[in-house]
Amino acid sequence: MKVIHERAKCIGCGSCVAVCPRFWEMGEDGRAKLLNSESDPKTDTENLEIKKKECNQEAAEVCPVQCIHIVI
């Protein structure tokens, strides 16, 4: 299972950080950052392999621009 964060679409609202601080923080650029993830500069995404969805599912659901995806 993987969490994918499309940073280019992120508006920096902080909803993901509020509901899932174990995996998310606000970056210096004002956009959310997926902790311990691998960045792909070509697509401006962050990717993190996970075993359980945990609070990432809620983070994806509360994101107003739907830039967080859980891929099974």
Q: What is the CATH number of the domain that holds 45?
A: 3.30.70.20
pLDDT in tens, 19-44: 999 999 999 999 999 999 999 999 99
pLDDT (0 to 100) of residue 29: 95
Give the range of the structural domain holding residue 28, as residue numbers without chain letter: 2-71
What percent of the chain is predicted at pLDDT more than 90? 100
Q: What is the pLDDT of the chain when averaged over all its residues?
A: 97
Closest C-alpha among 2, 1, 3, 9 to residue 67: 9
- 14: its two tokens: 């902080």
pLDDT (0 to 100) of residue 17: 98
pLDDT in tens, 47-60: 999 999 999 999 99
Count of domains in the chain?
A: 1
- Give the contacts of 20 (CB within 8 A, at least 6 positions apart): 54, 55, 56, 58, 59
